[in-house]
Amino acid sequence: MRRRDLIAVGTVALAGAAATSALASESAAPAEGVTLNISGVGLPVIADGRLRNYVFVTVKLTLGPGADATAMRGKDPFFRDALVRTAHRAPFTVPGDWTSLNENAINAAMVAIANVVSGPGSVVKSEVLMQTPRRRTGVPGGA
């Protein structure tokens, strides 16, 4: 076989393999919705009726199919305000731990807040990505 034919066959085979792997990766990729991150929200830790600490949280909201990401970014201050007000009204405190908050309660509150702020179905899922306590030492549950 001539060298020119060998190079041509190798190039065609390589291009076909790359196209096949690209199609496989597109079909295997999960259909993740558009997300909105709300970061740096300081929520109180209240124990025995006293303010003990603050925990700064980052929350990721997965938007619904009909939600506009640009419009939702404009509502970020409303989400923050409603979350802080909810946390002061009914704290997300974990009993015996002043360095973390109840993630399930935060997620449920964020979905409920989203239904009021931006309409029903605008947010389908909420997830707490990170919790950073203000004080880490000298408090129960701290390292």
Tell me which amino acid residue 61 is: L
The structure tokens 């938007």 sit at: 63
Q: Provide the token pair at 74.
A: 């404009």
The class (CATH top level) of 35-133 is alpha beta
Report the chain (143 residues): mean pLDDT per 10 consecutive residues: 56 49 44 82 91 94 88 92 94 90 94 92 92 80 58
Q: What does the pLDDT read at residue 89?
A: 92
Task: Tell me the CB-side half-sphere exposure of residue 38, using CA atoms within 13 A.
Answer: 30
pTM: 0.72
CA distance 26 to 20: 10
Every domain of the chain and the residues it spans:
1-30, 35-133
Q: What does the pLDDT read at residue 26?
A: 45
